[in-house]
Amino acid sequence: MSRWSRRSGRTDDAAPELDAETAQGRQLASEEVLALVAAAEAEAAEAEAQAAEAAALAARARAEAPGQPETEPEPDEPAAADSEPEPETEPEPDAPTPEAPESSAEETDAGRPARRPRLTAALGAWVAAAVAMVLVGILIGLSAFIVWNRGAQREIAEHKAAFVAAANQGVVNLLSMDFTKGDEDLQRLIDTTTGEFRDDFERSRGDFLTVLRSSKVTTTAEVKTSAVEELYRDSAVVLVAAGSEVSNTAAAKQPPRAWRLRVTVSRDGDQIKMSKVEFVL
């Protein structure tokens, strides 16, 4: 009895100590479990915050990207009631989005490559330049033609004037004679003629001077108007209207006479001379 009592006494004395240790161990285990639960809930809340931030960044990137509809970010799920508040953290700066190279396939609002408008603009500029060059060529050609035409007209006018002047001078030499200067007047007339017309005057030179001197005639002529009827490279036919006054020893002064002549003038070397004369009624 005494031994058991002693054992019982030991047992009774150790039981309170054992109960205290067990209670303390249980309390520690409970606190550790609660700490682990709180840490897990904090990690879950942080993961949800990071997921929400990533969703916001993705929505912003989709909104800034061209040709893609904007999507609204999904609302964040409510945090658990028993979760502890997450400590405030500074948001990370947005990562710079890599810029696409210029040679990448940029698209327009219609979804077509942006190179097609550039190609169309270049083609339009080339067509405009070609049209401008054609117009410039046409203007240059037209200007050259105008200059050439003016030069040709001026040359023709000078050509006509030379033949008309020769015809007028020949008519004046033909109709102006003075019996006192018959040899000089006849030689002047012969010098302004060519061809068979000149040969005729040369053959009848003596007879002409005899008649002129015997009649004692003096005539003076003046050209009224003249115009080219036919024009060729080395000859022309000129219509000449002239008037003359005749006087001799028998009659002091006769009324003026009007003459219409068709004069053919031809080039003889570097001079233009009469080759034929026809009186026109």
pLDDT at 126: 80
Instruction: Kindly write down the DSSP assignment for every residue of 101-167, as one continuous string.
Output: PTTS--B-TTS-BTHHHHHHHHHHHHHHHHHHHHHHHHHHHHHHHHHHHHHHHHHHHHHHHHHHHHH
For residue 93, what pLDDT is reported? 47
Compute the residue count for the chain. 281
Q: Give the residue extent of every domain in the chain.
A: 1-87, 159-279
Domain 159-279 has CATH 3.10.450.230: yes
Q: Which long-range contacts (CB under 8 A, 24 or more apart) does 211-217 make?
A: 212/177, 212/179, 212/182, 212/186, 213/179, 213/182, 215/179, 215/248, 216/179, 216/248, 216/249, 217/177, 217/179, 217/246, 217/247, 217/248
Return the residue matching tokens 């006018």.
157
Residue ranges of the chain with per-residue pLDDT less than 70: 1-37, 40, 58, 61-117, 119, 250-253
Q: What pLDDT shows up at residue 182? A: 86
User: 10 Å Cβ neighbour count for 194?
Assistant: 20
pTM: 0.50
